Amino acid sequence: MKKTIILFAFALISSIGFAQNGPKIVFSAKDNTIDYGQVTKTENGTRDFIFTNTGNAPLIITNVLSTCGCTIPTKPTEPIMPGKTGKITVKYNMAPGPIRKTITVESNAVNYDGGRVALKIKGEVISN
């Protein structure tokens, strides 16, 4: 019985370790959010979400989706190697009013469910 428990514990710990192998995406923005603050509509509206692949395999960003046409994201075209950084650029159209948008990143990252990560931008565009 004691050997069975030890074997089971070893198998469980090993499987947890293996589940964490692979690419991992970690964003530098607090809470995966960029705050534009209060900006004027004359600004270009471009911000970068910087991330690092903290895993042990190449990170592939397969898609980046916006909740509306007023926010245009661009993604890296090449895999991000372990230990390297990349960026997802977001361009907001700077229409006057509050900014509250979500961008969904789809990848092969193992540290998010299904490799999907929600990024957010917030702030307010004023007329001048």
- pLDDT tens, 83-128? 999 999 999 999 999 999 999 999 999 999 999 999 999 999 998 7
Cβ distance 74 to 64 under 8 Å?
yes
- pLDDT, tens digit (0-9, with 9 covering 90-100), for 39-68: 998 999 999 999 999 999 999 999 999 988
Among residues 88, 68, 82, 69, the alpha carbon closest in space to that of 27 is found at 88
- Measure the CA dihedral 9/57/111/121, to 10°: 170
Question: Domain coordinates of the chain in residue numbers?
Answer: 25-126
- pLDDT, tens digit (0-9, with 9 covering 90-100), for 19-37: 579 999 999 999 999 999 9
Neighbouring residues of 17: CB distance < 8 A, sequence distance ≥ 6: none
Global confidence as pTM: 0.81
User: If residue 9 lies in a helix (H) or strand (E), which one and from where to where?
Assistant: helix 2-19
Does the structure show a pLDDT above 70 at 14?
no
Structure tokens belonging to residue 31: 């809470």
Segment 6-15 shows an average pLDDT of 49
Residue 107 DSSP code? E
Instruction: Give the fold, CATH level 3, of 25-126.
Output: Immunoglobulin-like (2.60.40)
